[in-house]
Structure formats: structure tokens, C-alpha cells
Amino acid sequence: MKRILVTGGAGFIGSNFVQYILKEKQDIELLVNLDLLTYAGNLENLLPVQDDKRYVFAHGDIRDRAFVNELFDKYDFDTVVHFAAESHVDRSIVEPELFLTTNIIGTQTLLDAAKSHWKLDPDNKYSREYAEGVKYLQVSTDEVYGALGKEGMFTETTPISPNSPYSASKASADMVVRAYHVTYGMPVNITRCSNNYGPYQFPEKLIPLMLHNAKEDKSLPVYGDGMQIRDWLHVHDHCAAIRTVLEKGVVGEVYNIGGNNERANIEIVSLILDVLGKPTSLIKHVQDRPGHDRRYAIDNTKITTQLGWAPEYTFKRGMQETIEWYLENTQWVEHVISGDYLDYYAKMYSEG
């Protein structure tokens, strides 16, 4: 892991990972961040590393085969960490084609570039036993498993059963990655994480959205009864888990990454109101979105027992630090909220 391509490194999880890995691994020679800078990509997220001589930003589309191949030829990557994706379920319901092309074709484009540059060949015995010192890591989501009932947890052997265009596109991308491993000997890992929270998250997602609205005394839109349950993972724990998989993960394996923090959405909204000293009357229950999964829960036994990773953040500590970060970085929030976002917000959370 000396020369790394990170895709989507200007987004929430990607930018946290770029900061984390450059700080924690001083032996990295080069990290190239490939990002198209769509609405959720923000170079302000990378200000802490912008002067690091090992860091390079490349503005481009993961679906652009010529550009991606040029990057591989120029920088000779030995590691790919693929975050770049359209990731918001609500948006996927409105514009599914964008999710399918970006998340599936974009993934295939990266795999093809890596396969070509790493000289993987299904008829070559060496490549079938995996090229030494290279790895492709697909960052996926627990949403590919679908929804759980009141009991049980997702394991790596849970059948794939996506329920939204977003999760279907991510599940499809995972299957393409698996196929390239089996067919071409691509040295891959797939990680599937639970809901992330922490600094630099775009304010369409639950925690920063509710924080921003509560601070401004605006209504807090809660889907349905708000009893949708998610497992919450602090983004710094996620970054540490990804590093662990890159360094210790068995090639071809899937690893679930969870924070052991199941919470209902309404519980998180109420916590935010309580911390900010705001009334519960700000909560506004809106029509639930189509196909809204009721519960997710991650069993992270495999990564904790086999690779030795475990989440460090308690939910109390993580939420405290997250709330403090957003309150101290109100200018960042204002910068990322654009006219396009305001139009989208009005459409998603209007009455009816």
C-alpha cells in the first residue's frame, strides 16, 4: 500500500479516509483522490491535507475509461479504495439511471483499468494466484442485504436482497467485483458498513440535517413514525476498519463493518433536540418513502475475530463529538448548502 487511488475522496467517508490514512501511514508515497465533485463532493473537506506533498487531486468521472487508464499509467497504483458512488436512497428513487450508471459501470471501469495495469489474465497462473502487493477494495453498504425483522443481524452470508435503486446498484457492483475476482484473479475485498456519522457529512443525511434544522429552529422532517432502526458507525472507526482490511484481509473475502449501536431514527432526532435545548414540537412527521427498510443490524464478528478490528467509539462519545463539530463548523455547512440542495429538500420533505 504505497501508491493509492481513492475514488470519491471529496465525499463524506472518502475525505475522512484520505485524512486518516495519510496521517496514520507515513510510508505512503502517493495518494490520488479521483472525484467528480458532484453536489456532495467538497474540496473543503480536504483542507487538512491539501499541502501534503503525497496528496494529488484528480477531477474526473470514474466512468471515463480513458481518464482512469491515464491515471493508472501515470501513477502506477498498487491499491484502489473505491468509495465513489451515488449514495442517497431518496435521490435514487427520483433518478435511478444515474445510480445504475455511476455505481455499476463506474465500478467496472475501475476494475478494467486495474486488471489491465496489473496484467491479470485468467490463463496466467501467476495472476490466478493474485498479483503480489496489489489490492482492490470495494466499499459497499449493509443496504444490499435488504431489511431485517425485529430479530437477527446481517452476516457476510446473508442473501443479497436490495430494496431500493441505490442498494440494487451497490449490490450489482459487488457482484461485478466478485466476478472479476473469480474470473480474472482480481485481488479484491468487499466491505459492507452500517450507517456512518461524523464530520463532513453532507446535510441531506439524518444527523447533519437534523442538527442544522434544529439549530435554525426549522422543522425536523421525520419519515413515518421514525422507528426505522439502523446500526450507527462512527466514520473514524470505519476508516480504521478499511485500513485493517487492506492490510490483513484475506483476498476475495467480504467483511461486514458495524458499530454495535442500534438506534431508531426518532431516538437520534430526540437526542439532538435535547442536546441543543430545542422543543420536540419541531419534529414534523412526513410521508414515508417507498420501500423504506425498517431495520438494519450488522454482525461484525468476522472482522473482529479474524482481523482484530473493533469499534472504539461509543455512541455517546461519537454523537457528542459530532454535534460539537457541526456547531463549530457552521460556515462549512453553509458553504455546502446550495440552491440545488434547497430545491431538492423542498421536493423531498414537502407535505403529501
CA 229 → CA 29, 153, 258, distances in Å?
A: 41, 12, 13
- Longest CA–CA separation in the chain, Å: 66
- From residue 143, give the alpha-carbon distance in Å to each of 5, 93, 147, 222: 25, 15, 8, 20
Looking at 35, 78, 142, 293, which residue is catalytic? Answer: 142
132 is catalytic: no
- Cα separation of the two ends of the chain: 51
Give 257's contacts (C-beta < 8 A, 6+ positions apart): 191, 192, 193, 194, 233, 237, 238, 241, 242, 298, 300, 303, 309
Catalytic member of 55, 75, 136, 166: 166
CB 273 within 8 A of CB 282: yes
**Catalytic (active site) residue 20:** no
Active-site annotation holds for 142: yes
Cβ atoms of 133 and 78 closer than 8 Å: yes
Check 35, 143, 231, 262 and give the catalytic one: 143
Which residue has cell 450507517?
Answer: 195
Catalytic residues, by residue number, are 142-143, 166
